[in-house]
Amino acid sequence: MDYEPQWQATGTKPDVSLSAALMRQGDGLAIRYTLLNQGEAPVVAYVGVPGDAASHSYDVFVTAREDKIVEIAKRTFAIPPGTNADAVGTIEGIVIPGGEQFTEEFRVPWPLKGNRPYVSEVKLPDPVTTAVFCIGVLLQSEAPAPKPADRGRGAYPLNGPQHLFCSDPANVQ
């Protein structure tokens, strides 16, 4: 099994709350989440993981933690040692003004398949029994300047700063 790389929170922790539900539905795992910006300052939430052709809501990173919990995430990753920094991709982000929220609902195919940047293959626990949903968030004032992306979003570096907010572990058998 490949374990989730360690990450370091960077910058000021945004005042946000995450509520999320994960539920098995036939040949998929349904995820619904709401991210509420409880502060006054706008935040950037990473919501657009690169897909095959374009970023879709169901495009996510899927990794394993050392406790065998599977993390389904929309977040950034540090560049592993020995990886060419020119290979850094982007992740789409949206700005959530103070006091506002963002809600998204999507399904990912079951069984889950590992997906992590900079790595060609990711092994997950067999069977997958428990999962969390996580999202990377940072204050807009601390975000790098984005490149334009589809649907009014910005494209941020895939190794950019973030604080990670995760749901409680859910049984997904």
**pLDDT score at 78:** 83
**pLDDT score at 161:** 92
* Predicted structure pTM score: 0.91
**pLDDT score at 45:** 96
Residue 59, Cβ neighbours under 10 Å: how many? 19
**pLDDT score at 10:** 83
Alpha-carbon distances of 157 from 62, 75, 126, 136, 167, rounded to whole Å = 19, 10, 32, 12, 24
**pLDDT score at 55:** 55
pLDDT less than 70: residues of the chain: 1-7, 50-57, 85, 87
